[in-house]
Amino acid sequence: MTTPPLLALDSIEVVYDGIVAALHGVTLEVPAGGIVALLGANGAGKSTTLKAASGLLAAERGKVVAGSVSFRGAPVRARGPVQLVREGLVQVLEGRHCFPHLTVEENLATGAFARRPSASDLRQSIERVLERFPRLRERRRAAAGHLSGGEQQMLALGRALIARPTLVLLDEPSMGLAPKVVEEMFTLVRTLHETEGMSFLLAEQNAAAALAVANTAYVLENGRVVAGGTVADIRARVDVRDLYLGGTGTGRTRFRARSEAPPPAT
């Protein structure tokens, strides 16, 4: 007998504003304790897929018109985002979305509100997150709007962690960050996965970074899943490599050879 996946999307179709179709039958699974990468170009439907899972679609006038989304074996349709956060499914939005006028501590606190913690529980939870992010501790009383991009990404992740999630939907965590910070982010994802058993669904354009931590991956194109499987499978597929993983090995060599060639003599 197989255990049911933590999150399962079964051929869902999503429409915005009643007319704009964004997803055409997306099916994917996040097993308990898995890190799943969701790859694809800008506008392929990665964010929409995550929002369909977290119940945030409604806030943007989107709707799952066909198919089903289930978390822990029960459909999410009947549960609002607040309920889902309580049950352990939290999304970190693309572009961080920290509350700019709130302090770092206040930002973190908002992530715990859904489970209505006691005052001491709240304080301890904030401390625990700050232990993980020493840089945030230094700036705990600063307004989030004054943090650097990397610090804001840490804060957004910390704010999600404080809800004690079992599944985190991470949308483009590497966007606009320096390579070193990106590496730090993904190291953290792996640590959380290994030490806390947290599962992740990771939407990324930076395929190399995402595949380095993921177990399985899906590739989205124009609202459809065009490839899916283990990371090794995905890496092996030439068409996927060409389109999403920075071109084939030969393509890259050719590019380099050309650019490094000496200028023609005049």
Partner 1 sequence: MSFFLEVLIGGLLAGVMYSMVAIGFVLIYKASGVFNFAQGAMVLFAALTFVSITERGVPFALALVITLAAMFALAIAVERAVLRPLVNAPPLSLFLATLGLAYVLEGLAQTVWGTQVHGLDLGISDAPIGAGAVSVSRFDLFAAATAASLVGGLGALFRWTRAGVALRAVADDPLAAIAVGIDLRRLWAIVWGAAGVVALVAGLLWGARVGVQFSLSLVVLKALPVLIIGGFSSIAGAIAGGLVVGASEKLAEVYVGPLVNGGIETWFPYVLALGFLLVKPAGLFGERSIERV
Rounded Cα gap, residues 126 and 120, in angstroms: 10
Q: Least separation, in Å, of the C-beta of 82 and partner 1? A: 5
Examine residue 145 and tell whether it contacts partner 1 (CB under 8 A): yes
Query: Whose Cβ is closer to partner 1: residue 34's or residue 158's?
Result: 158
Name which position in 76, 85, 227, 231 contacts partner 1 (CB under 8 A): 85
Going residue by residue from 40 to 69, which x/- string records binding to partner 1, judged by CB under 8 A? --------------x-x-xxxx--------
Q: Least separation, in Å, of the C-beta of 107 and partner 1? A: 8
With CB under 8 A as the contact rule, which of the stretches 123-131, 141-149, 219-227, 231-239 interacts with partner 1?
Answer: 141-149
Q: Least separation, in Å, of the C-beta of 126 and partner 1? A: 12
Examine residue 90 and tell whether it contacts partner 1 (CB under 8 A): yes
Residues 108-137 that bind partner 1 (CB under 8 A): 109-111, 113-115
Name which position in 14, 98, 188, 240 contacts partner 1 (CB under 8 A): 98
DSSP string across 185-231:
HHHHHHHHHHHH--EEEEEES-HHHHHHH-SEEEEEETTEEEEEEEH
Examine residue 72 and tell whether it contacts partner 1 (CB under 8 A): no
Name which position in 82, 178, 208, 236 contacts partner 1 (CB under 8 A): 82
CB 213 within 8 A of CB 35: yes
In the sheet with 167-171, reading across from the earlier edge strand, the strands are 89-92, 167-171, 199-204, 35-40, 216-221, 224-230
Helix (H) or strand (E) holding 256: helix 249-260
Rounded Cα gap, residues 81 and 56, in angstroms: 6
- Is 91 in a helix, a strand, or coil? strand
Tell me whether strands 216-221 and 7-16 are parallel, antiparallel or unpaired. unpaired
DSSP string across 11-70:
EEEEEETTTEEEEEEEEEEE-TT-EEEEEE-TTSSHHHHHHHHHT-GGGGTEEEEEEEEE
Number of residues that bind partner 1 (CB under 8 A): 37
Q: Token digits for 176?
A: 């606009």
Q: Least separation, in Å, of the C-beta of 93 and partner 1? A: 6
Q: Least separation, in Å, of the C-beta of 228 and partner 1? A: 26
Query: Whose Cβ is closer to partner 1: residue 92's or residue 209's?
Result: 92
Name which position in 49, 91, 166, 206 contacts partner 1 (CB under 8 A): 91
Going residue by residue from 146 to 185, which x/- string records binding to partner 1, judged by CB under 8 A? xxx----------xx--x----------------------
Name which position in 24, 72, 79, 97 contacts partner 1 (CB under 8 A): 97
C-alpha to C-alpha distances, 215 to 27, 29, 103, 211, 238, nearest whole angstrom: 17, 12, 36, 8, 19
- Is 165 in a helix, a strand, or coil? coil
Instruction: Residue count of the chain, please give it.
Output: 266
Binding residues for partner 1, rule: CB under 8 A, are: 54, 56, 58-61, 81-82, 84-86, 90-93, 97-102, 106-107, 109-111, 113-115, 143, 145-148, 159-160, 163
